[in-house]
Each structure stands twice: as structure tokens, then as C-alpha cells.
Copies of this chain bind each other. A is one copy, B any other.
Amino acid sequence: MKITILGGGGFLGRKLAQRLAAEGGLDGRPIAELTLFDLAEPAPLEAPFPVRRLAGDVASAADVAKAVPEGTSVVFHLAAVVSAAAEADFDLGMRVNLHGTLAVIEACRKLSTPPRVLFTSSVASFGGGQSALLPDEARQVPGNSYGAQKAAAELLLADASRRGMLDLVSIRLPTVIVRPGRPNKAASSFVSAILREPLLGLETPLPVGEDFRVWVCSPRRAVDWFLHAAVMDTAPLGIDRGVNPPGLAVSVGEMLAALTPAERALVRSEPDAVIAGIVGGWPAEFAATRAKKLGFAPQEGVPAILAAFREDDLAATRADRGM
């Protein structure tokens, strides 16, 4: 089978590619070819199957058509401009998150067999705030351009799926922690930083209170969900192709409790009203009843998330940051 990862050079795209390489197949079927597509040519990947690495723009129908050749069975559409960048540059967000998705629909409908498409939507497409426990039927009322573009893309992909141009599963991902790399300007940056920086022996600010609650998952569990979405029976979904996966609702205090006292001491309270205002609008918890029935595995607790970061990413993060 042929598989394509759009955004295959990004954080989750890379993790997914590595998992496919480690497993060698999908659903017991061998992988004939894996295409990794991103703005810059993705880094080489050691794998027991051929890997094509393509540079291109997901908003270009011609580029996406090259990335999704005839015979492609599964397209993982992860290419995106994420929330802070889409808010800072409306046109860029629209181009990549909306028009990029339209280019994916165009490429898929040209194939003789409609491919399974896994689309990564986001909890940023919901409002609701800290007090909310969002049911599966909750309406998406996005408070940011990224969330609006993701929710609109979900609707258009679902319609293309209903029409038989592709076979969609959209997953509204929680905040994925622990993200490697450096703290950045994203409002959610601290959610990873308060675990990652102390593990690196570095101080880090905490802009919200310890009772702040956030809906999270690990990159490992996100990849589990992608693979489940790639092989599951989609008939039980009917026309409603969006899934709120079973993440973990956790408070900052519970996250910090998983650190050693010495690590914990590196997290300094530095209240930031702007960040608190933005993240305070995010829903803290989802019921995720449907996803569990559909076989999506629930996220384990913070210790498992920390252990996975230590095993998978700590050494590379140290090296990247010249430590």
C-alpha cells in the first residue's frame, strides 16, 4: 500500500513516519511506498520500504497531486499553519489551512479508489472555557482563525467524504505534550515547557495558576490515534466524520506533581493576564464517549507522558539545544 504524510517534516508527521518505519506495515499489509511531503524536503528516514521525500506547498494543487500518486491508500493530512501563526497572518492561515485542504480534496478525487484521509483538526476549534465538559455534540464556535479554518476544513472534507471522493476521519487533537524544542510565542507553549524545561535543568515561567486545567495527549498516543483512524471501519461514523479523541484532562498542579522536587523548583509563577485570557477560553475537558466506542485508546496519566518524552525526545532535545 502507498501512504502519504502531508506535513511529514513536522513534529507529529515525523513521529508518525518513524512509527510506520518501525512497524514496516499498516494493518498487517506491507507498505509499498511512503511519501513525506513538507515545505522543506523532510529529513531522510530509515525504513524497510521506499521513502519519497518531497518539498512543496500544500496550497498548490499540482504539488499535492505529486504527493498523492495513483494507488495511494492513506493520506495523513497534517500540514498546517498553527494557531499563533494563523492569528498573526490571516492570509497565510487561510492559504495553508483552508486552501491547502481544498487541494487535498482535489488530489484525492482524482484517484481511482478514494483514499482514507486522516485530518488533524484541533480543540482550538471549540470555545467553552475552563468550566466546560464538552459533549460529543458540542458546536464548534472558534475564537481564533486557526480554529475557524480547521472547523471549516472539517466540514468541506466531510462533504467530499459523503460524496465518495475520499473516506475521512477528522481527529480534533488535544494539546500535544511534551513538545520538544524551545519555548515559543504560542499561548500554549507553557503547557509543554513546564515539563520539558525542568527536565533539561532549566528555569521556566508559569503564566497561569496551578488550578488551570488543560486537555492533553502525548505524541505517542496521537500517533496511535492516527493509525487507528487509518484502518478503522468508518461505516459507524455515518456522515459525522469528526472525532473528539479521549485525551487527558489535567491541572497544572497535577502536571508539576510528576516532577522531582528539584525539577519542580525550576517552575516559577509569573502570572500573565494575556496568556491566561487566551487559554482560559479553551475547553478543559471533553466527554469523548463516541471515540472510546470507536476504539480510540484513552490517554494515560502524566507519568506515562513524561516517561515517553524521556525515552523518545530528551536526548535529541538536549543535542538540538547544544546542551
Contacts and interface: CB of A to CB of B under 8 A. Distances in A.
A151 interface: yes
A240 B141 contact: yes
Nearest to A109: B90
A88 to B, nearest CB: 11
Contacts of A163: 90, 145
B137 A139 contact: yes
Nearest to A141: B240
A40 interface: no
Interface in A142-169: 142-145, 148-149, 151-152, 155-156, 158-159, 162-163
B98 A141 contact: no
A139 B139 CA distance: 4
A55 to B, nearest CB: 27
Interface in A108-144: 127, 137-144
Nearest to A238: B141
Contacts of A145: 159, 163
A148 B158 contact: yes
A278 interface: no
A167 B140 CA distance: 20
Interface in A203-229: none
Please state the number of chain copies in the assembly: 2
Given A139-B138, A143-B239, A239-B143, A156 B162 contact: no
A157 to B, nearest CB: 9
Residue among A98, A137, A149, A152 facing the most chain B CB atoms (10 A cut-off) = A152
Contacts of A143: 162, 239
Contact of A156 (B102, B139, B152): B152
A253 B30 CA distance: 60
Contacts of A239: 127, 141-143
Residue among A140, A141, A152, A155 facing the most chain B CB atoms (10 A cut-off) = A155
A155 B142 contact: yes
Contacts of A127: 239
A156 B149 CA distance: 7
A77 B102 CA distance: 23
A152 to B, nearest CB: 4
Contacts of A149: 156, 159
A42 to B, nearest CB: 30
Residue among A102, A138, A159 facing the most chain B CB atoms (10 A cut-off) = A159
Contact of A98 (B140, B144, B156): B156
A143 B161 CA distance: 11
Contacts of A152: 152, 155-156
4 nearest interchain CB pairs?
A148-B159, A152-B152, A152-B155, A139-B139
Interface of A: 90, 94, 98, 102, 127, 137-145, 148-149, 151-152, 155-156, 158-159, 162-163, 239-240
Given A143-B162, A149-B159, 19 more contacts: A94-B102, A98-B156, A127-B239, A137-B138, A137-B139, A139-B140, A140-B155, A142-B158, A142-B159, A142-B239, A143-B239, A144-B159, A145-B163, A148-B156, A148-B158, A148-B159, A149-B156, A151-B155, A155-B155
